Structure 1
């Protein structure tokens, strides 16, 4: 997830201060990926170092404001125009867990899959319930961009959970086939015959 580009996008309409950016980021994404203020200010510091934002005075309450620069707008346009790189996918903890569980002693990988499937299906139900609420909010005449953005994030989470559930089903089927094949190959091997003694 590109926090830096998310903050640049939020700065495009006008200057903001750190806690304001954190609140707007969470409103736009439904707090799916919560940020802390320290993380926001660390990112702003890096963006300033790279020439993408600049300090812009203070608001009436004394909060330090940041504004996007021309270089920051160019970087934001480039981010929007560039597809998300799938050649180096993000590490997926579930895929790593199943890969490590295969052949691990005292680990029932089918139990691992069953527990994850239960969790994934529950998450999908929760996301679907939230989607119904978000859809109602997004269809109101006074709905802002945050409501539509949250709806899109929720739909992505639902599709992701559906895909994960299908992958878990597929993984379990594959493991069953491999286990059956290994068992069949073992029983098909000829029994070891003891060597006959030769008499002299």
Structure 2
């Protein structure tokens, strides 16, 4: 970790310690796309409470650090979410979050396969295992409550921004929680010849959560 990055994280930790508040519980979304999944069974339920940890609110920096403004796969306005997620995550999740940041931003890693292969490699390189704490099905749910998500969680969800296909990615943090918009580390696959990127997705229907464990 560079001295400049360390200083930013220390500043964020101080800020969050003073001002962090629990995010309000959101109204449940309604989706009417029965052609893709059964809207009659879009039950939203909490994940396994044995793995619960305090929810984190992510502040916005007025001016993102200069070293976080020079990447084409991370928008400057999302830099604070990336930094805060690492600062406030559990130790196991921190290892994974730092690993994917290095792979995506610094090394610009391209691996064979798709999103599963990329995240599996990231967990292996970080030396971190994972437990499935919530599991539904793509078409019928149940789907996870937004309060169940934590930074560093490996999610499977319905990609409402791209034909409602199945997709997986690493949860970084909420950008607009009431509308279920979250920053995700996403890998499109080796055929795109692009590194993973931090992108905002609609997480109205998350049907699997895998949480980093030491």
TM-score bracket, shorter-length normalisation: under 0.3
Greater helix proportion: 1
Q: Which of the pair has the greater relative contact order for Cα pairs under 8 Å at 6+ separation?
A: 2
> Under a length normalisation based on structure 2, what TM-score does the superposition of the two structures give?
0.24
Query: What TM-score, normalized to structure 1?
Result: 0.25
Indicate the structure (1 or 2) with the bigger Cα radius of gyration: 1
> Whose strand proportion is higher, 1 or 2?
2
